[in-house]
Amino acid sequence: MAKSLFQKVWDAHHVRTLANGQTQLLIGTHLIHEVTSPQAFGMLRDLGLKVAMPHRTFATVDHIVPTDQFAEPFADPLADAMIKELRRNCAEFGITFFDRATGKQGIVHIVGPEQGITQPGTTIACGDSHTSTHGAFGAIAFGIGTTQIRDVLATQTMALGKLKVRRINVNGRLRPGVYSKDVILHIIRVLGVNGGTGFAYEYGGEVFDRFTMEERMTVCNMSIEGGARAGYVNPDETTFAYLKGRPYSPKGAAWDQAVARWRSFASDAGCTYDDVVTIDAATIAPTVTWGINPGQGIAITEQVPDPTKVSGDERSSIEEALAYMKLKPGSPIKGTRIDVAFMGSCTNGRLSDFQEVAKYLKGRRVAAGVKAIAVPGSQGVGILCAELGIDRVFRDAGFEWREAGCSMCLAMNPDKLIGDQLCASSSNRNFKGRQGSPTGRTILMSPLMVAAAAVTGSVADAREVFSVPSA
């Protein structure tokens, strides 16, 4: 019988059925970071347990690291305690830690793929909801809570109920100036922030076939913002080419065997899905959010909604969002003044994100009064950008070029909005207070749109600002 990738990976990692009907699922690869793991190690110690397969857990530090000043001890004693605790836990339990001295540190969802740890046909778990990123490789990757981190550490498994699978086809061609970020913002706008509840999303169609791995990662990354527990793309030649030669990728004869095996995990032609959604790529515009969740998005050419034109719940949620965002009902989003431009995060902090922006940013200047920061997602991305002179382009334009970390995406570090500052952000969440100030405001958009906002000082159509050729 024809099976989806999800079904095949699930079957291969199903250990047994638990008393309540859930599956004890083997987690092949476990990724940890400093924020959600210390309590799990504490629970392990309390129970007198060891790490079952220490060689299958990999650690990095990302959320709390300052990006402007790398020296330890950190100025923030709480942050300093967290990095020390992670170091201690990894040393005690024999876990590989991509600490800063290794030159491989970065955001966990950038480091895994970069090192070749993220591979097709595997299961991955990490105490971070954006773990869905790794699905870009045809892995089934779950964001988990801290008690489940304990479970994975202690048993290399966790208890989980099976998901349904929704196939999302994006066919045709994206218009110039439209990026993978716009694709996922559009999908969430159409299906809703809880449309994915109970589902894994399988992304496919001509647009995904042509996408690079980094573009696929951007889409899979935000699956969780659409309520889906996981999101993935079937592995293909693009996937294998990306993985070849990476530090943890198989070598020699093992490489050929691995590729054959990885290929076999791709969804079979004719497999059945619980739901299928098809989107025409040509209908997707550069998309920006206007509200306080990632589903509240519009095309850059549209107006923010007018709550008086709808009723009930929808009306009150629009009113709440517009009041928080200080936007006028029915007004164009284009032209909204910004204070901060943030370029980075596990969604858009990869080499190609900076590379694409650099093509257009050369010779331009960040508008007066705008604080613009560019934060590579990993030390590796930072090194590549430096080799290619990309950091220079950003610096010359007036961006602050920073060291690797999560930075202003969630502001558990010194990078924060102040007061009700409005940020044009390449990150993934526009929740109230997300960027560190209880009244701070976020507009999500693609990296090139962030650059357009940075140089004009307001939310702008990057296609106009940078004269993006129309074909």
Dihedral sign computed on CA atoms, order 355, 359, 361, 362 = positive
Q: Which is nearer to other proteins, 141 or 304 (CB)?
A: 141
Which of 337, 340, 294, 300 lies closest to 432, judged by CA? 294
Q: Which is nearer to other proteins, 175 or 255 (CB)?
A: 255
To the nearest whole angstrom, how small is the minimum distance from the Cβ of residue 115 to other proteins?
A: 14
To the nearest whole angstrom, how small is the minimum distance from the Cβ of residue 357 to other proteins?
A: 26
Contacts of 77 (CB under 8 A, 6+ apart): none
Q: Which is nearer to other proteins, 319 or 396 (CB)?
A: 319
Q: Which helix (H) or strand (E) holds 372?
A: strand 371-374
> What are the counts of helices (DSSP H) followed by strands (DSSP E) for the chain?
17, 19
Alpha carbons 148 and 34: distance in angstroms, whole number: 15
Q: What pairing do the DSSP bridges indicate for beta strands 164-171 and 275-280? A: parallel
Residue 97: phi and psi, rounded to 5, are -120, 115
Alpha carbons 93 and 81: distance in angstroms, whole number: 18
Contacts of 386 (CB under 8 A, 6+ apart): none
Q: Which is nearer to other proteins, 16 or 363 (CB)?
A: 16
Q: Which is nearer to other proteins, 56 or 364 (CB)?
A: 56
To the nearest whole angstrom, how small is the minimum distance from the Cβ of residue 12 to other proteins?
A: 6
Name residue, tokens 């965002």.
325
Q: Which is nearer to other proteins, 221 or 456 (CB)?
A: 221
Alpha carbons 57 and 267: distance in angstroms, whole number: 27
Alpha carbons 270 and 165: distance in angstroms, whole number: 14
To the nearest whole angstrom, how small is the minimum distance from the Cβ of residue 299 to other proteins?
A: 22
Q: Which is nearer to other proteins, 33 or 167 (CB)?
A: 33
Dig out the tokens for 366 from the structure.
């960040």
To the nearest whole angstrom, how small is the minimum distance from the Cβ of residue 459 to other proteins?
A: 22
To the nearest whole angstrom, how small is the minimum distance from the Cβ of residue 65 to other proteins?
A: 12
To the nearest whole angstrom, how small is the minimum distance from the Cβ of residue 353 to other proteins?
A: 22
